[in-house]
Amino acid sequence: MDYRPRRTLLYLPASNARAIEKARDLPADVVMLDLEDAVAPDMKPAARDAAVAAVAAGFGAREAGIRVNGFGTPWAEADFAAVAASNAAFVVVPKVDGPEEAAQAVALAGGKPVFAMVETPRAVQRVDAIADVPGVAALVAGFADLTKDLRAKPGPDRLPLIYAASRIVLAARASGKLAFDGVFTSIGDEAGLALETRQAVEWGFDGKTCIHPGQLDTVNRLFAPSSEEVAHAKGLIDAHRLAMAEGKAVATFKGKMVEVLHVLEAERTLKIAELVGEMGGLAAKVVEAAVE
- Asked if 218 and 243 sit in the same domain, the reply is no
CATH number of the domain that 67 lies in?
Answer: 3.20.20.60
Tell me if 114 is assigned to some domain. Answer: yes
What pLDDT shows up at residue 2? 57
Say if residue 249's pLDDT is above 90.
no
216 compared with 255, residue with greater pLDDT: 216
pLDDT single digits (tens) 88-108: 999 999 999 999 999 999 999
What pLDDT shows up at residue 269? 82
In whole angstroms, how far apart are CA 91 and each of 13, 66, 67, 251? 15, 5, 6, 44
- Region 109-132: mean pLDDT is 98
Question: Domain range for residue 284?
Answer: 227-291
- Asked if 198 and 253 sit in the same domain, the reply is no
Query: 77 — phi, psi (to 5°)?
Result: -60, -50
Number of domains the chain is built from: 2
| Spatial contact of 165 and 203, defined as CB atoms under 8 Å apart | yes
Q: Dump the DSSP string for 82-144.
A: HHHTS--S-EEES---SHHHHHHHHHHTTT--EEEEE-SHHHHHTHHHHHHSTTEEEEEE-HH
pLDDT single digits (tens) 159-173: 999 999 999 999 999
Say if residue 288's pLDDT is above 50.
no
State the Cα–Cα distance between residues 4 and 124, nearest whole angstrom.
Answer: 26
Is residue 232 classed as helix, strand or coil in its secondary structure?
helix
State the Cα–Cα distance between residues 54 and 21, nearest whole angstrom.
Answer: 9
Tell me if 174 is assigned to some domain. Answer: yes
- Asked if 172 and 242 sit in the same domain, the reply is no
- Asked if 184 and 169 sit in the same domain, the reply is yes
Domain edge (last residue) among 191, 223, 255: 223
Q: How confident is the model at residue 281 (pLDDT cuts 50, 70, 90)?
A: very low
What pLDDT shows up at residue 61? 86
- Asked if 43 and 119 sit in the same domain, the reply is yes
- Asked if 165 and 265 sit in the same domain, the reply is no
State the Cα–Cα distance between residues 29 and 31, nearest whole angstrom.
Answer: 7
pTM (two decimals): 0.87
- Asked if 195 and 234 sit in the same domain, the reply is no
- Asked if 41 and 132 sit in the same domain, the reply is yes
Tell me if 3 is assigned to some domain. Answer: no
Q: What is the DSSP letter of 64?
A: E
Q: How confident is the model at residue 265 (pLDDT cuts 50, 70, 90)?
A: confident
Give every CB contact of residue 72 below 8 A, 6+ residues apart in sequence: none
pLDDT single digits (tens) 176-200: 999 999 999 999 899 999 999 999 9
| Spatial contact of 188 and 249, defined as CB atoms under 8 Å apart | no
- Residues linked to residue 118 through DSSP beta bridges, in sequence order: 141
What pLDDT shows up at residue 192? 97
Domain edge (last residue) among 174, 199, 223: 223
How would you classify residue 11: left for phi > 0, otherwise alpha for psi between -120 and 50, otherwise beta?
beta
Say if residue 36's pLDDT is above 70.
yes
- Asked if 177 and 265 sit in the same domain, the reply is no
Say if residue 286's pLDDT is above 80.
no
Q: How confident is the model at residue 229 (pLDDT cuts 50, 70, 90)?
A: confident
| Spatial contact of 181 and 205, defined as CB atoms under 8 Å apart | yes
